[in-house]
Structure formats: structure tokens, C-alpha cells
């Protein structure tokens, strides 16, 4: 299972099933702006008496959009319990410190991405403790995140009162590098691309080797699937200039990926 193209998405109330607690996936939490977003949602829901009347609901929703545009602070968390709360459910998570090593090759990246989706299942499948090469150490820090499921008295819709877009699931290795490790990448040294023929053996470890003189998307911080697609393009036009439309499409894919991983502003 290779997920490193990009599958990260916001966790929704539909994800709050028993399987979430069984798998205990690694989730990504933007914790710096969580309290602010939570406060705004409570105001909209009239949880703070009289507060919502001071501004129209539409203005509060615009405030949420503005807050969600901030970079914030990201932490790795694991779900621990799901409990009913007033007007919805509460997801309790523990903050964890991830131990991945350096991801020396393609096989380790693919194994890490399986582990990220279901650490408990992955560890159970290992025949010995020596095979467990990834870890999530408890930091004794927790968060409780509310997922509204009822209409507010102010008339705001359930979709408007959803849990703020600050908790993400389907995390991949590129997401970990970007959001939790400040973009540090030992393969490309932060360039986000490599010369696939001049890496001193690095490219071969990720099936990224090909002729020199090209800027290939980094297999580690940009993602294995993304690199594979980019490599096919560069191989196809290694001796010939690509059509303008196809070159433009490739540039658009690169820009979109950089933006998606937070390396470029929207």
C-alpha cells in the first residue's frame, strides 16, 4: 500500500467509528488555532449566551475561514476515545512523538505509510519486536475535539458548525516531513527535487535513478507516487522537448504539490 501521492484530508464526524479506535491512526492536529476555532463555533451555537447576537453568523463564519488560513502549529496525535457531548461527540486524542529513523529506502517509506494508517495492526503483524521499527511515544499531553451533530439555536447549519479543519487523517510520509519536521529531507536537502543520476546512490534506493540533467521530484518529501509519475514524464521527453501543453501541465502539478504540502502559499 503506497499512499504518498497525497491522501491527507480533514477528519469528519463520519470517521468517528469504532474502527478509528481499533486502528489508532496517526492524525495531524493544527493545535495552535484549535482553541480559537472552538471558541468561534461556541459563539455561533449560542453556547456563550448573547454573544452570537453581536455579529451576524455569516461574519463569524468568515472569521473561521480567516483563522483556517493561518499556518498554526502541527502535532501528531492518536485517538483514544469517542464520547457523547452537548450537541455532538467529543474525540479525545493523545499527542505522540514519532520515531521513524531516516527512511533509507522505498520499502521503509511504504512500510511507514502502512504504519501511519494503523499502527496497532502493523505492529501485530510483526513477528518479533526487532521488526517494529516505528514508534509513537506518549507525551502526556491530550486534546479534546468537538464534532457538532445538531443544529444550533442561531440557525447555523451542521456543515457550518463542523469540527474545524484542523485535524487530518490519511497522513503520509511527505506530510510528516512537511508539517512535523519543518520540511527537512535528507534526500534532496530541501530542494524538493533531485538530479536522478547524480545522488551518490540515493536515487537507486527509491527507484528514482535515470539520466542526469533533470530535476526529478524528490521521492521522499514529494512522495513516491508523485516521483514515479514525474519520472515517467522526464523519461518520455529525455531526448526531445515536451509539447508546451504537457510541460505546462507538469509545472502545474509541481506547483500544486508544493502548495499542498505547505511549501508555497496559495
Tell me the per-residue pLDDT of 29-51, one tens digit each, with 9 for 90 and over.
987 666 555 555 555 555 445 54
Would the pLDDT of 174 be above 60?
A: yes
CA neighbours closer than 13 Å in the CB half-sphere of residue 3: 19
| Most confident range, picked from 10-19, 136-145, 233-242 | 233-242
Which pLDDT does position 265 carry in this prediction?
A: 63
> What would the mean pLDDT of 159-171 be, rounded to a whole number?
68
Least confident range from 41-55, 70-84, 185-199, 247-261: namely 41-55
**pLDDT reported for residue 37:** 55
Q: How confident is the model at residue 130 (pLDDT cuts 50, 70, 90)?
A: low
- Number of helices (H) and strands (E) in the chain: give both, helices first: 9, 8
What pLDDT does residue 47 have?
Answer: 47
pLDDT at position 14, please? 85
CA distance 217 to 35: 37
In this model, does residue 150 exceed pLDDT 70? no
Strand partners, 71: none
Which letter does DSSP use for residue 260 in this model?
A: H
Burial tier of 155 (Cβ tally within 10 Å: 0-12, 13-18, 19+):
exposed
Coil, strand, or helix at residue 173? helix
Residue 7 has pLDDT above 90, yes or no: no
Q: Compute the average pLDDT of residues 143-158.
A: 58
Sheet with 167-169, side-by-side order of all strands = 9-10, 167-169, 27-30, 74-85, 88-99, 135-148
Q: How confident is the model at residue 156 (pLDDT cuts 50, 70, 90)?
A: very low
- pLDDT digits over 182-236, tens only? 999 999 999 999 999 999 999 999 999 999 999 999 999 999 999 999 999 999 9
| Arithmetic mean of pLDDT over the chain | 81
pLDDT at 123: 77
Which residues contact residue 3 at a Cβ distance below 8 angstroms, ignoring those fewer than 6 apart?
A: 113, 116, 117, 170, 172
Res 144: pLDDT: 87
Q: What's the predicted TM-score (pTM) here?
A: 0.80
Q: Are 119 and 24 in contact (CB under 8 A)?
A: yes
What's residue 152's pLDDT?
42
175 with 26: CB under 8 angstroms? no
Distance of alpha carbon 261 from alpha carbon 62, whole angstroms: 24
Q: What is the pLDDT of residue 84?
A: 86
Q: Torsion-angle region of residue 262: left (phi > 0), alpha (psi -120 to 50) or beta?
A: left
Q: How confident is the model at residue 122 (pLDDT cuts 50, 70, 90)?
A: confident
Three-state SS annotation for 210-237: CCCCCCEECCCCCCHHHHHHHHHHHHHC
Give the mean model confidence (pLDDT) for residues 103-110.
93
Amino acid at each position: 500500500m503506497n499512499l504518498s501521492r497525497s491522501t491527507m484530508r480533514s477528519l469528519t464526524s463520519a470517521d468517528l467509528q469504532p474502527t478509528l479506535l481499533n486502528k489508532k491512526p496517526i492524525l495531524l492536529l493544527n493545535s495552535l488555532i484549535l482553541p480559537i476555532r472552538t471558541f468561534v463555533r461556541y459563539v455561533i451555537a449560542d453556547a456563550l449566551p448573547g454573544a452570537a447576537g453581536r455579529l451576524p453568523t455569516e461574519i463569524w463564519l468568515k472569521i473561521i475561514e480567516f483563522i483556517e488560513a493561518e499556518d498554526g502549529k502541527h502535532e501528531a496525535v492518536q485517538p483514544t476515545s469517542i464520547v457523547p457531548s452537548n450537541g455532538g461527540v467529543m474525540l479525545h486524542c493523545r499527542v505522540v512523538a514519532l520515531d521513524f529513523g531516516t527512511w533509507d529506502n522505498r520499502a521503509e517509506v511504504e512500510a511507514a505509510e502502512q504504519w501511519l494508517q494503523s499502527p496497532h495492526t502493523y505492529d501485530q503483524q510483526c513477528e518479533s519486536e526487532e521488526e517494529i521499527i516505528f514508534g509513537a511515544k506518549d507525551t502526556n499531553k491530550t486534546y479534546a475535539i468537538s464534532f457538532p451533530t445538531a443544529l444550533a439555536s442561531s440557525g447555523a447549519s451542521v456543515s457550518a458548525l463542523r469540527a474545524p479543519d484542523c485535524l487530518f487523517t490519511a497522513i503520509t510520509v511527505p506530510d510528516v516531513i512537511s508539517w512535523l519536521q519543518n520540511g527537512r529531507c535528507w534526500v534532496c536537502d530541501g530542494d524538493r527535487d533531485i538530479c536522478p543520476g547524480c545522488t551518490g546512490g540515493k536515487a537507486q534506493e527509491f527507484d528514482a535513478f535515470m539520466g542526469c540533467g533533470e530535476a526529478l521530484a524528490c521521492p521522499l518529501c514529494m512522495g513516491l507516487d508523485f516521483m514515479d509519475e514525474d519520472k515517467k514524464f522526464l523519461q518520455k521527453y529525455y531526448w526531445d522537448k515536451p509539447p508546451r501543453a504537457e510541460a505546462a501541465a507538469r509545472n502545474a502539478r509541481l506547483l500544486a504539490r508544493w502548495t499542498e504540502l505547505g511549501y508555497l502559499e496559495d
